[in-house]
Amino acid sequence: MGSALLAGALAGAAGQSLAQEPLRSFTIVGDAIPEPVTGQRGDPARGRAIVTNRQVGLCLLCHSGPFPEERLQGSLAPDLAGAGGRWSEGQLRLRIVDSSRLNPDTIMPPYYRTEGLHRVAANFRGKPVLTAEQIEDVVAFLTTLRD
């Protein structure tokens, strides 16, 4: 409890430098990252909020999905409906973390990579699109999209 409070205080004080800490390591097996990047599975409800947020997840700019309340959705990428049936949890994780590992020509942005990018805007430099926790929340949500 005490250490959690301390960590929270540090995060608030350090802010920028903590945001640019090195990415966590993960292990790719085949076309998947079987284990959570954070060590524990995320929260589907938080994941849904990230997916539908146009400033955070950005997903619906390109994808459509089973979100009847969201009017403006994309068609550049596959419908997210049924994603949890088509892909395993680990396959979804790698496709979000860095889809270019599977298809170098993909239009899907790498959500958890900071290397090998060019001319990143100053306010985003050294930061992944989503944090490891957010990645796990999104993965947890997408696995619930079964049909």
Partner 1 sequence: MREGVISRRAARLLLAACIALGALPPSSQAEIPAAERRSSYELMSAETKAMQDEDSANPGMLWVLDGEALWNRRAGEADRSCADCHDAAPQSMRGVAARYPAFDEKRGTAVDLQGRINLCRTEQQKAPPLAFERQELLALTTYVGRQSRGLPIDASDPRLDPAVETGREIFTRRQGQLNLACAQCHDDNWGQKLAGIVMPQAHPTGYPLYRLEWQTLGSLQRRLRNCLIGMRAEPYGYGSAEYVAIEAFLMRRAHGMPIETPAVRP
Q: Which stretch binds partner 1 (CB under 8 A): 4-12, 16-24, 52-60, 78-86?
A: 52-60
Q: Which one of 6, 9, 19, 107 is in contact with partner 1 (CB under 8 A)?
A: 107
Q: 32 with 88: CB under 8 angstroms? A: yes
> Total binding residues for partner 1 by CB under 8 A?
27
Provide the residue count of the chain: 147
Q: Which one of 54, 66, 144, 146 is in contact with partner 1 (CB under 8 A)?
A: 54
Q: 46 with 137: CB under 8 angstroms? A: yes
Q: 95 with 82: CB under 8 angstroms? A: no
Tokens of 10: 């540090």
Closest distance of CB 108 from partner 1, Å = 9
- Torsion angle of C-alpha atoms 20, 89, 74, 114, degrees rounded to 10: 20
Residue 119 lies near partner 1 (rule: CB under 8 A): yes
Q: Which stretch binds partner 1 (CB under 8 A): 13-21, 33-41, 105-113, 132-140?
A: 105-113
Distance of alpha carbon 147 from alpha carbon 7, whole angstroms: 40
Residue 122 lies near partner 1 (rule: CB under 8 A): yes
Binding-site string for partner 1 from residue 56 to residue 95, where x marks contact by CB under 8 A and - marks none: --x-xxx--------xxxxxx-------------------
Phi and psi, residue 84, nearest 5°: -70, -20
Distance of alpha carbon 99 from alpha carbon 25, whole angstroms: 16
Residues that bind partner 1 (CB under 8 A): 54, 58, 60-62, 71-76, 100, 104-105, 107, 109-110, 117-122, 124-125, 127, 129
